[in-house]
Structures are given as structure tokens and as C-alpha cells.
Amino acid sequence: MSRRFPTFRIPVIGARAACAALALAMLPGLATTAVAASLQVAPTSVELQASENGEAVWLSNTDADTPVRAQVRLFRWTQHNGEDTLEPTRDLAISPPLVELAGGARQLVRVIRTGPPPTDTETSYRIIVDEVPDGTAADRTGLQFLLRYSIPVFVLPAGEAPITYQLAPRLEHDGDAATLVVANHGGRHAQLADLAYVDAGGNRHELLSGLVGYVLPGQTMRWALPASASRYADGGRFQVRINGEAAEQTLALDRAAR
């Protein structure tokens, strides 16, 4: 059975190639003082070459005094009807799936490919790292914040031919609302960040800061745009950063499509 994966707005780390989804959940029934979580995960994006059988992810406890426990799971990541979906998979394995970190400790977690690499298109997965609540803590007077990291994993296909994304963006109008629709006809994912619109007069309008989202190979994603649809009807252009590249790229719209 599929598990729906909620999309989180998070800061983009480092050179923007790394991203992880972070959720903070407060345990009910606790009062006043907040206890900060200390679980850290690196890297925040994993790429597995066809010639590689595994990669490493490090879990760290930045609190020198308090132990941390975490559960590590791995899911196949796909997109359907503009939504991210996670499903159980045996294509990759995680070892170990449960981690207990003493204060200041680090633990290596292996991502292991259990089958052959894909043939012509990359496949995508997500590592979900959940901090496990501490049920033995003596101090129950504070709020305990639990971290969740969602780390993208991309397995590249076999063969020497390079693969890349191939984006086909268009605008859709519904009354005065505008939606940017981006299809990816290539064999590689596209991570979009820092979406802006430059109007015909050269004025720049920041639309979506930081991580906008991913478009996986063969999929189409949609993002509602701020402001009225009339703003985007003057022949301007959309600018975006793709896959952590420093230079912005222009999205060449098919303005005939509605």
C-alpha cells in the first residue's frame, strides 16, 4: 500500500544541492520548558552510481550529555498526479535500521543496493530518519521535539550515455489564479529552487524562495504562483536554480498551452 509523503518547506543546505525534509512534532501533555533535539544527518542527498553497491550516511548526536535513538527506513519515491508518494521497496536496504547514539557519538548507516541498477532512467528513493522519543527520561516537565529527516537517494542507470533532465514548463490559468506546470521528459531528476519572475520591463519578482520541489523523470509537478495571473502575461520569463547549480536558468514557457 502506498504511503503519501507530505512535502515540507525547508532551508536549502550548503550549495543547495543538499536538501532534507524536516518535521518537528511536539509530544502532547508536556508543559513549559522545551528540550531541543540533537540528531543530525549527513549528507542530505545521496547519489549512487551504477557501479557502486552502496553509500554511507552519517547520524550524529550533537548533545554531549544525552543519548539519542533513531529509526532509519527506506522507501521508493515516485510522483503521481502531482504528488509525492512513498512505497516500501526491496531495491535498497538500510543497515542498521535502528541506531542508538551516546552523547557526542556518530554512527555510519549503509545504503545497500540489492539488485541491478536501472537501465536508462535514474530511480529515486527516500531515506526517512525518525528520532525515537525517549521514554526513560526522568525529566518530563518540558516539551520534547522530535526530528524527522527525509533524504533523497538517486540511483543512476548503467551505461556510458549521459542522462539529464528535460523540462517542459507551461502556465495554466484558472480565473485570476496562475499555476506553473513543469513536466520532465528526461531521464534525470530536476530540483528547482529560488523561483523568480522577470517581467518585460526587467523588474524581478521573487516568487518561491529556497527549495521549490523536485520533478522526477517522466513526471509532472504543479506549483501555485503568488499574485494574479495578469502579472505573468506580459512576455516576461521565469528564472530558477536547478540541481544546486549557482547560475540561474530560464524556463522557456510554452505560452500556447493553457
Which residues lie closer than 8 Å to 106 by C-beta, 6 or more apart?
A: 58, 59, 60, 61
What CATH class does 3-155 carry?
mainly beta
Residue 23's H or E segment, with its range, is strand 21-26
- Tell me the three-class secondary structure of 184-242, residue by residue: ECCCCCEEEEEEEEECCCCCEEEEEEEEEEEECCCCEEEEEECCCHHHHHCCCEEEEEE
Most confident of 7-21, 29-43, 109-123, 126-140: 109-123
pLDDT of residue 252: 86
pLDDT of residue 36: 47
Q: Grid coordinates representing 256?
A: 500556447
Rounded CA separation 54/19 (Å): 20
Q: Grid coordinates representing 149?
A: 529527516
Mean pLDDT, residues 197-215: 94
Kindly list the domain boundaries of the chain, sorted by start residue.
3-155, 167-251
Rounded CA separation 14/255 (Å): 34
**CATH code that applies to domain 167-251:** 2.60.40
**Domain 3-155 matches domain 167-251 at the CATH topology level:** yes
Give the tens place of pLDDT for each residue, 70-97: 999 999 999 998 899 999 999 999 999 9
Q: Residue 141: pLDDT band by 50, 70, 90 thresholds?
A: low
Q: Whole-model pTM?
A: 0.81
Beta strands 34-35 and 143-155, pairing class = parallel
**Whether the predicted pLDDT of 4 surpasses 50:** no
At 84 the three-state DSSP class reads strand
Could you tell me the sign of the dihedral formed by the alpha carbons of 97, 60, 130, 220, in that order? negative
